[in-house]
Amino acid sequence: MKPLGPIPAGYEAKDGELAIGGRTASDLVAEAGDTPLFVYSRSHLDQRVVALRAAMPDRLGVNYAVKANPFAPVLDHMTGLVDGFDIASGGELEMVLAAGIDPDRVSFAGPGKRDAELKAAIEAEVTLNCESEGEADRALSIGETLGVAPKIAIRVNPSFELKGSGMKMGGGAKPFGLDAERVPSLARKVIANGADFRGLHIFTGSQALSADALIETKGNVLNLADELAGEIGEPLPKLNMGGGFGIPYFAGDEPIDITAIGRALEDRFARLPASLQDAQLCIELGRYLVGEAGVYLCRIVDRKVSHGTTYLVTDGGLHHQLAASGNFGTVVRRNYPVAIATRFDADPAEEVNVVGCLCTPLDRLADAAMLPRAEVGDLVAVFCAGAYGASASPSAFLGQGPALEMLV
């Protein structure tokens, strides 16, 4: 038997079934018309942001990293909840503009921005978080051609990293950001060329669950920003302090202590150096805001036994839930929180493997899981599906196509 990850708070049984937004899984699938289906819950999104804001200092802005879940109704809902939006491609730029989001709230990071993407961003007046000298030069010359002063922040590749982070994005050689020691001269050049200098962006990693590690890293980020501002010779208008807040996916994972992080930031903010006193300060979060608000529902289409192992074969799989299958940034495959949605209040009764419909042994949704006895036609729920699910999985694989999505 392998343990399942913890089911996030707020999911209860109704008429014996998993309920999301007060409606049963079968009811939601009936409305959507088919499986597989991603269901995202408005009330989860709301509660998450309310709790986060209550814990964090008032002056700390909260940005949403759109790549975690760009589903248009989710994006639209987030506009009323967060302060800023971080995008990482021209496609995401189109999405935030289509959602009517004020370009002043948008910053565009990510390596490999093409000239057409830089041009579209400069025309739309969103802030570019430049990832290299070359990119900043291209942005400056595009701005000159257009006759507009581009808004430019510089993404820093710091020498420290976020400890215990699932995905390290700082420390040592990286394709992201500019090595810290080269930042001041580029910032001075950007300012000298008449661009609207928007400060610094320091992102150090993702999916950390340790408050201590996050507190230490945010402290390092503030120290580094102060040091760089000193060398630039101007206070910073803005500092994006990165994110990294994780969610529990696996057995033994604990939710991060946002109260402790908020208190530590409050303390740091009370004694900020002059270079940061007037800076707009923000964090950028993806999975923490939306991950637990999503559930992936798929249907059991076959039940079979092979060499004594029972397989529940579903119409879902890694083409929608690459991360849950263990093939997106994990070394050892562990089980996400999974349940039989149509028997949500039944006791575990048998050990099964829940698999997808793709013809590859990689397509697993739960290994050796203790679940209630389930039959063909029952619905399986995979939790923590609100981030990096639909948009970060290879839905074209085997001609399967995308899953349905709905916000309730």
Ligand X SMILES: *Cc1c(COP(=O)(O)O)cnc(C)c1O
**Contact flag: residue 140 with ligand X (CB under 6 A):** no
Range in contact with ligand X (rule: CB under 6 A) among 113-121, 280-288, 343-351, 396-404? 280-288
Nearer to ligand X, 203 or 336 (CB): 203
CA 183-186-191 angle, 5° bins? 120
Rounded alpha-carbon distances, angstroms, from residue 118 to 54, 67, 198, 301, 366: 36, 18, 16, 47, 42
Instruction: Tell me how crowded residue 146 is: count the other CB atoms within 10 A of its CB.
Output: 12
Binding residue for ligand X (CB under 6 A) from 24, 85, 86, 153? Answer: 86
Q: What is the CA radius of gyration of the chain?
A: 22
Nearer to ligand X, 284 or 405 (CB): 284
The answer to whether the Cα torsion of 324, 329, 334, 336 is positive or negative is negative
Binding residue for ligand X (CB under 6 A) from 204, 207, 325, 395? Answer: 207
Minimum distance of ligand X from residue 285's CB (angstroms): 5
Catalytic residue flag (residue 359): yes
DSSP string of 62-109, one letter each residue: EEEEGGG---HHHHHHHHTT-SEEEE-SHHHHHHHHHTT--GGGEEE-
**Contact flag: residue 218 with ligand X (CB under 6 A):** no
Let me know how many helices (H) and strands (E) the chain has, helices first: 12, 22
**Contact flag: residue 284 with ligand X (CB under 6 A):** yes
**Contact flag: residue 324 with ligand X (CB under 6 A):** no
Q: Encoding tokens for residue 4?
A: 């399942």
CB 288 within 8 A of CB 245: yes
DSSP string of 111-131, one letter each residue: S---HHHHHHHHHHTPEEEE-
CB 9 within 8 A of CB 251: no
Minimum distance of ligand X from residue 228's CB (angstroms): 18
Nearer to ligand X, 68 or 93 (CB): 68
Catalytic residue among 282, 298, 357, 359: 359
**Contact flag: residue 64 with ligand X (CB under 6 A):** no
CB 338 within 8 A of CB 352: no
Binding residue for ligand X (CB under 6 A) from 285, 293, 357, 403? Answer: 285
Nearer to ligand X, 261 or 352 (CB): 261
Nearer to ligand X, 156 or 371 (CB): 156
Nearer to ligand X, 65 or 279 (CB): 65
Minimum distance of ligand X from residue 185's CB (angstroms): 23
* Element holding 212 (H helix, E strand): helix 211-232
**Contact flag: residue 65 with ligand X (CB under 6 A):** yes
Binding residue for ligand X (CB under 6 A) from 36, 158, 243, 248? Answer: 243
**Contact flag: residue 203 with ligand X (CB under 6 A):** yes
Binding site for ligand X (CB under 6 A): 65, 67-68, 86, 109, 203, 206-207, 243, 284-288, 387
Q: Which residues are catalytic, by number? A: 359
